[in-house]
Amino acid sequence: MTQKKNTKQRQLPPGITYRPKEHRYMGRFSHYGERYTTYGRTLKEVKQNLNDLRYEVEHGTYIREESITFAEWFEIWIKDYKEPSVKMGTVGVYRQNYNAYIKNIFGNKQLREIRAEHIQRFYNGMSTHYAHNTLEVCRAVLNGAFSQAVKNEIIRKNPVSNTTFPKNNKKQTAKVMTMAEQTLFLKYTAGTKYDSLYEIALFTGMRSGELRGLRWEDVDFHKREIHVACTLTYQNGEYHSETPKTQTSDRIIPMMDRVFQLLKKQQKEQLKLRLTMGELWEPLKGFETLVFTNLYGRPINRDRLKREIDKIVKKMNQAGIPFAHITPHTFRHTFATRSIEEGMPPKVLQVILGHSDLSMTTEIYAHVLPDTKAEEMKRLEQVYFKIKQSGVKLVSERKFDISAT
C-alpha cells in the first residue's frame, strides 16, 4: 500500500503533493521569491485552484487571506455590519444561535481554513437533531459572515456557496393547547402575576415582544382596537422598543369583549399598584406607559415571563395533572388554531397575526387538532348520507348525476 502511494506521489505534476493525513492535494509555486499555496480534494481540483491562483498573482488581482478566527470575525461582523442595519431582536437571535451551535464548531478555526465540506458536515449533523428554523438561522449567520469577509478581502471565496442545504430536515411542529388544556391553564393562572397578559395573548395572537411592549396609547377603548406598533427587545443589557417584525406586523387587532374587560382591569390594577409603590415605582425612560410591567413599573423580561409560565405548569403537574411544557409563543399558536377551528378565513387570520404572506399562515398554522379532524370527518359523513338518502347517484369522481331516478 505504501509503495502504491509513493508511486502515485512520483507521478504527480511538479508543485503538487498528496497529503494522506488530510486526504487532499496541496499545490505550491513561487513568484518573485514569495511562496503561494492552495489545496484541493482531487487532483483536478488542485490543478484548477493552482492555475487560478497563479493567474491572480501574476496579474495583481490576488487577495492574501488574513489570519483571523471565525470568533474574532463574527464579533466584527455583528457589531460593524449587522447592529447598524437590522433590528436588535435579529441581532439577538444571531448571537443566541452562534453561541449555542456555531461557536464550539468554528469559533477557534482560522477563517481561511474553513472549507465547504466542514460546513456541509455541520449542516448534516444539525439537520438530524434540530428544527428547520434553527438550521436556517445558522445558515444565515455563516453565509452573512463569510460573504462580508469576501467583500472585505479577508478571504477569497465564500465556502457556504459550495454547500447543499439539507432538504429532509423536519420543520418543528408548533405546540398547541387543546380547548380543554387552554381552559385548565387559565384556571390555574387566575390570580397570578401576569394572568391578564396570558389571557390577552390567547385572545389576540400577539407575539410576546408585542404584548410586553404594548403601550396605553396603542389601546383605543373607544374604537375597541389594539394598535400593534412596536415590539420589546433586550440586547446588550438594555431594553429597546422597535418597530414590528415586518411591515405587515404593524396592524390593528379588534378587541373581543373579554379583551376589553381584561385591559380595563389591567388599567385599574396598574394605577393601584403605582399608588401603593410610591417612589419605588420607577419606569425606565421611554417605557413609562407600558401596559404590562413588573412590580416596579419596568419592562417584563422575556425569560422572566417564561419562568412564570414554567411555575404554573409545574404546579399543575404537582397536582397530578399531566401538562406539557409551553412557552409564550404557544399562546400565539393556540389562538391561530382556535381561529381555524372556528372557520376564520386564512386571509383574515394572516392580517390579525401580522404575517407578511399567506403561505406563512397556512404553512405554520393549517394543522388541525385530532378531535377537530374527527368532528369534520363526521360532518362530511353526514353530507354523504344525505346525498345517498336524496337519491343522488354518484357517476364519476368529478360530477354528480342529479337527474331523476
| Model confidence pLDDT, tens digit, residues 98-144 | 999 999 999 999 998 899 999 999 999 998 888 888 899 999 999 99
Write the class of the CATH domain 179-365: mainly alpha
The pLDDT of residue 24 is 86
Give residue 109's pLDDT. 92
Q: Give me the pLDDT at residue 1, please.
A: 47
The pLDDT score that the predictor gives to residue 370 is: 56
Confidence class of residue 363 from pLDDT cuts 50, 70 and 90?
low
Which residues 6+ apart lie within 8 Å of 131 measured at CB? 169, 170, 171, 172
Gap between the Cα atoms of 241 and 88, Å rounded: 9
Q: Between 129 and 319, where is the model more confident?
A: 319
Read off the pLDDT of each residue in 356-370 and give the average, rounded to a whole number. Answer: 59
> Per-residue pLDDT for 396 more than 50?
no
Fold that domain 70-162 belongs to in CATH: DNA polymerase; domain 1 (1.10.150)
Domain boundaries, the chain: 2-55, 70-162, 179-365, 370-405
**Cα 272 to chain center, whole Å?**
38
Q: How many CB atoms lie within 10 A of CB 111?
A: 22
Lowest mean pLDDT among 101-110, 239-248, 256-265, 327-336: 239-248
Q: Mean pLDDT, the chain, as a whole number? A: 85
Query: Residue 86: what pLDDT?
Result: 84
C-beta of residue 194 within 8 angstroms of C-beta of residue 292: yes
Q: Say yes or no to pLDDT of 395 above 50.
A: no
Q: Nearest to residue 180, comparing CAs of 381, 369, 392?
A: 369
Indicate the range of 78-82, 83-87, 193-197, 215-219 predicted with least confidence.
83-87
Residue 287 has pLDDT above 90, yes or no: yes
3-state secondary structure of 3: helix
Provide the pLDDT for residue 61: 62
Distance CA 56, CA 128 (A): 40
Whether the per-residue pLDDT at 284 is higher than 60: the answer is yes
pLDDT 10s digits, 339-358:
888 888 888 888 898 877 66
Q: What is the pLDDT of residue 52?
A: 86
Residue with cell 417584563: 300
* Residue 321 confidence (pLDDT) above 70: yes
Report the C-alpha gap between 33 and 7 in whole angstroms. 30
Q: What pLDDT shows up at residue 281?
A: 96
- High-pLDDT (> 70) share of the chain, %: 82
Residue 132 corresponds to which amino acid? H
Which neighbouring-strand residues pair with 226? Answer: 219, 253
| H runs (alpha helix) in 319-357 | 328-341, 346-353
CATH of 2-55, one of 1.20.5, 1.10.3470, 1.10.357, 1.10.10: 1.20.5
C-alpha cell at 235: 440586547
Q: How confident is the model at residue 371 (pLDDT cuts 50, 70, 90)?
A: low
Cα–Cα distance between 371 and 258 in angstroms, integer? 26
pLDDT at 398: 46
Taking the mean position of all CA atoms in its chain, how far away is CA 149?
Answer: 24
- Residues of the chain above pLDDT 90, percent: 50
pLDDT tens for each residue of 181-231: 999 999 999 999 999 999 999 999 999 999 999 999 999 999 999 999 999
Between 88 and 141, the higher pLDDT residue: 141
Quick one: how far is CA 114 from the chain centroid?
25
Q: Which of 19-33, 180-194, 298-312, 387-401 is predicted least confidently?
A: 387-401
What was the pLDDT predicted at 403?
45
The per-residue pLDDT for 340 is 82
C-alpha cell at 200: 390577552
Two domains, one topology: 2-55 and 70-162:
no
Write out pLDDT tens, residues 19-70: 888 888 999 999 888 888 888 889 998 999 899 888 878 877 665 666 789 9
